[in-house]
A = this chain, B = another copy of it.
Amino acid sequence: MSNPESATAPVRRAPVPRDRCGMALACDMLGDRWTMLIVREAFYGVSRFDDLRADLGIPRGILSARLKALVGSGVLERHPYREGSARVRHDYRLSERGRDLGLALIALMQWGDRHLQEAPSPLRITDRRTGAPLQVALVTPDGRAVAAADVDVAAEV
């Protein structure tokens, strides 16, 4: 990514205002200690209140509030289900919008695996057809990966 070390004038302001930057908006929505972890669980398929609670060790009140927010912002959907003759209950599953977050989560995971961990993660992300391991990268519209050195980031005027 273009990051001139040269001693030009320092950047004083982000080129994109916060309220028009998708990343900043995403951070506002996902940026707290639990929300990302809840989405991660949902991504793994954990969908029930008590399972989430047990798996994450999150307080009930916080989990309740975060789930409400995630449903409200369309990342999770609340689905009714019944198990045998039990009464109807609800679980929380990724919506289309939530599933689309997968790439960002994987990118974060691969970064964490590279930099924050000694042992490699036990999670394998592969091409279903060939079994080849997959990595997050920037690609051109015809699907070719581009080296970091060839990536240009610039704000439109």
Contacts and interface: CB of A to CB of B under 8 A. Distances in A.
Interface of A: 1-3, 10-16, 18, 20-27, 29-37, 40-41, 43-48, 51, 54-56, 74, 91, 94, 97, 99-117, 119, 121-130, 132-141, 143-146, 148, 150-156
Contacts of A136: 103-104, 107, 136-139
B106 A47 contact: no
A55 B137 contact: no
A32 B33 contact: yes
A76 B23 CA distance: 19
A114 to B, nearest CB: 7
Contacts of A130: 140
A137 to B, nearest CB: 5
A151 B153 CA distance: 28
A12 B44 CA distance: 10
Q: How many copies does the complex hold?
A: 2
User: Main SS of the interface on chain A?
Assistant: mixed
A144 B141 contact: no
Nearest to A50: B12
Contacts of A31: 31-37
A16 B46 contact: no
Contacts of A100: 111, 114-115
30 contacts: A1-B102, A3-B99, A10-B48, A11-B44, A11-B51, A12-B48, A14-B46, A14-B55, A16-B123, A18-B37, A18-B56, A22-B121, A23-B40, A25-B116, A26-B112, A27-B33, A27-B36, A32-B32, A32-B33, A104-B108, A107-B107, A107-B108, A124-B153, A125-B138, A125-B151, A129-B150, A130-B140, A137-B137, A137-B138, A137-B143
